[in-house]
Amino acid sequence: MGLTIAEKIIKNHLVDGDMTTGSEIGIIFDHTLTHDVTGTLGYLAFETMNIPKVKAELSLSYVDHNLLQADYKNMDDHMFLKSTAEKFGVILSRAGNGICHSIHYQRFGKPGKTLIGSDSHSTTGGGLGVLCIGAGALDVAMSMAGEAYYLQMPEIVKVELKGKLSPGVAAKDIILELLRRIGVKGGLGKIMEYSGKGVNSLSVPERATITNMGAEVGATTSIFPSDEITKEFLVKQGREKDFVEIKADEDAVYSEVITIDLDTLMPLVAMPSMPDNVVKVSELEQVKVNQVFIGSCTNGSYADIAKAAKVLKGKKVHPDVSLSVSAGTRQTFQELMRDGIIADLVTSGARIMENSCGACTGIGQAPNTGGVSVRTSNRNFKGRSGTMDAKLYLVSPETAAATAITGYVSQVLDGENAQVLENIGEPEVYHIDDTMFIYPPEDGSGVEIYRGPNIKPLPIPEILIGNLEVPVVGKFGDNITTDDITPASATFSALRSNVPEISKITFMGRDTDFVERAKKMERSIIVGGENYGQGSSREHAAVAPMYLGVKAVIAKSIARIHKANLINFGVLPLVFKNKEDYDKIDREDILFIENIVDQIKSKKVTVLNKTKDISFEVEIEVTDREATILASGGKLNFVKNKNKKI
Ligand code: F3S
């Protein structure tokens, strides 16, 4: 039986398991990636392991998320990252160099390799034929230490692209179409593998837009073949030697096939506040817009911004709209300047922002109260923009540019000559300049780690023993995101290395008294609905509740990365056996679990609601290895005491 692309790469990196779908596998990652928001926690964790130097083939520390220097905190974190990179043998990508995922596929990604990144959109590199996974920073630290990463062998889904996109319709519309069809949970436990004739007309950055937002369908990762288009991209990046061809075998077997016809695809928009709430732009009632943002790791490529500039050329940004544009990388920004595209944008009234995440994650450019923001980024959850009640719409760069002109959500096909976009693609020549990377010394043992007052040690979880009797601190509905738990904002990212402080914003937008209640209760449980912890991989969403005394989450289902983060930080991820039991619990009810460690071991846990005198079963869907980690009090305790068995 032939192999899919994903199976071929996994097979080459497998150290444990037999690749049977659903069974646990351990794989080694060649490349690791962190960014400044999640990275500090990763390097704090790496430090506790007492390993002098990273063992992964290539490790990068990107400074791209929060570049504000409103006070000392951020700069202290950046200095901490610079010194840990030098000490541990990690390449540092300096602030101003651009967004981690976009830089990584431009300058470092190699088809056939594996990458683990402490960001859910680390999947972006799948556009280059790299098997990339997003995980918590602690797991990335483990991979830096040369340890295997464990996951359940995903199903492999074939996404067959037929036909060719029309001008005005973009790669973004392909992934929005997939979101429309399968939703934010449709990719759970799956790898989306792209194939078909439609693939041949997509550039590497266009493919990367699709693999980037594979995170939004909940997929473990997404991947494209490495073909002539990949080769051409690598040649232009001066990296021809990194090319290898990778394609699926003719007789490869997929669990499912999804076909998308690019010929008939139309411009789409994800409505507030879920990325799968997708409709055709042409079907929208007139929506008045206050802000447009073009950029991010999803749509910050040369062609993305050049197409937006073409739509805007000779026109002016609507007086009611603030348009900000940010190239994904410094390389792309240099090319756009060289080719006069930045000048065209400025002439139209666009504001040019730094090459960073910025607006995408609510760091600067927050919309007005109750405002409407149309964005080319990948997330539109409540609070993502930094303004809690702003409404966020996700679109392609072409649609965003048309919207900036009219002042309401519009597509290029509306009265614009879409044909002018037909020949706009990646530039003939890339601007290659790697001077913003700082390479570590061969021996970093003498490097002193810079530690400002905002860098606090990682809290270590309590080891659970005996019975657990705790109140319910909060009860939440379906699709609670990690943004709901620890909202993305300048406050969040400035406090990322200071768990005691960051815990004060836990559930801030959802439940204003949560923190006070949790502190009063000292030890507690959270109850959630379906897909609890979806969205960004940030492990602060596990660490902050843990710090506040949360011992377990009981939900109808828990998102993959968040579940791993809960386990890593010693918080029990429990799932209702019968979903109706969710209704048998109210906030402040007292829940009782007898002999917690024995029950973890049996993977079935009986919970007694003492307040209502009702018992129900919950499952703990963990492997034996994860059960051992939980019983050890999380991964850091586990690593320190590897031989402890339950
Ligand atoms: Fe940055 Fe937004 Fe991407 S925060 S890594 S641009 S999802």
Is residue 37 one of the residues assigned to a domain?
A: yes
Boundary (domain end) residue, out of 264, 297, 322: 264
Is the per-residue pLDDT at 153 higher than 80? yes
Is the link from the previous residue into 326 a cis peptide, with omega within 30 of 0? Answer: no
414/425 Cα distance (integer angstroms): 22
For the cut 50, the answer to whether the pLDDT of residue 643 exceeds it is: no
% pLDDT > 70, the chain: 98
**Quick one: 189 and 301 in the same domain?**
no
Average pLDDT over residues 14-24: 96
Least confident of 472-476, 490-494, 526-530, 555-559: 490-494
The verdict on 177 and 255 lying in the same domain is: yes
Tell me, yes or no, whether 41 and 167 share the same domain: yes
At 509 the pLDDT is 86
| Pocket of ligand 1 contains residue 354 by CB under 6 Å | no
Question: Are both 255 and 314 inside the same structural domain?
Answer: no
- Closest atom, ligand 1, to C-alpha of 298: 3
Torsion of CA 635, 637, 640, 646, to 10 degrees: -90
Kindly state if the Cβ of 296 falls inside 6 Å of ligand 1.
yes
> What is the reported pLDDT for 416?
58
Report the separation in Å between the CA atom of 123 and the middle of ligand 1, taken as the mean of its atom positions.
12
Complex-level ipTM beyond the 0.90 threshold: yes
Give the pLDDT band (50/70/90) at residue 646. very low
Determine the pLDDT at residue 150: 93
Q: Quick one: 490 and 604 in the same domain?
A: yes
* Count of domains observed in the chain: 3
Q: Which domain, by its residues, includes 592?
A: 468-644
By mean pLDDT, which of 367-371, 381-385, 574-578, 605-609 is the weakest? Answer: 381-385
Q: Could you tell me where the DSSP H helices lie in 183-256?
A: 204-212, 228-236
Is 445 part of a structural domain of the chain?
no
Among 67, 132, 360, 394, say which to mutate for ligand 1: greatest number of ligand atoms within 8 Å of CB: 360
Nearest residue by C-alpha to atom 2 in ligand 1: 360
| Same domain flag for 160 and 42 | yes
Find where tokens 């069809």 sit: 181
Claim to verify: residue 161 and residue 273 sit in the same structural domain: no
Query: Are residues 503 and 589 located together in one domain of the fold?
Result: yes
Tell me if 378 CB under 6 Å of ligand 1: yes
Do 132 and 246 fall into the same domain? Answer: yes
For 156: left if phi > 0, alpha if psi spans -120 to 50, otherwise beta; the answer is beta
Q: Is residue 208 part of a domain?
A: yes
What tokens does 160 get? 């067959």
Residue 451 in any domain: the answer is no
Task: Indicate whether residue 360 lines ligand 1 (CB < 6 A).
Answer: yes
Q: Give nearest CA residue, ligand 1 atom 5.
A: 297
Which tens digit of pLDDT belongs to each residue from 471-522? 999 999 999 999 899 987 667 777 888 999 999 999 998 999 999 999 999 9
What is 416-459 written as a DSSP string?
A: S-GGGGTT--S-SS-----TTEEPPPS--TTPPPP--TT--PPP
What pLDDT sits at residue 645?
43
CA 393 – ligand 1 centroid, Å: 16
pLDDT band at 1 (very low <50, low <70, confident <90, very high): confident
CATH number at residue 534: 3.20.19.10
In a domain, 595, yes or no: yes
Q: Which of 223, 248, 264 is the last residue of a domain?
A: 264
Pocket test for ligand 1, best of 63, 361, 481, 482 (most atoms within 8 A of CB): 361
Atom of ligand 1 nearest to the CA of 119: 5
Cα(357) to centroid(ligand 1), Å: 5
Secondary element (H or E) of residue 171 = helix 171-182
The pLDDT tens digits of the residues spanning 203-250 come to 999 999 999 999 999 999 999 999 999 999 999 999 999 999 999 999
Whether residue 141 sits in one domain with residue 83: yes
Q: Is 461 within the bounds of a domain?
A: no
Do residue 317 and residue 199 come from a single domain? no
pLDDT at 386: 86
Same domain, yes or no: 521 and 535: yes
Tokens representing 582 are 């969710």
Arithmetic mean of pLDDT over the chain? 94
Ligand 1 mean position to 306 CA, how many Å?
A: 20
Q: Which of 238, 264, 290 is the last residue of a domain?
A: 264
pLDDT digits (tens, 9 = 90+) for 74-86: 899 999 999 999 9
Q: State the CATH number of the domain containing residue 147.
A: 3.30.499.10
Q: Per the structure block, which two tokens stand in for 231?
A: 């080769």
C-alpha of 373 from chain center: 21
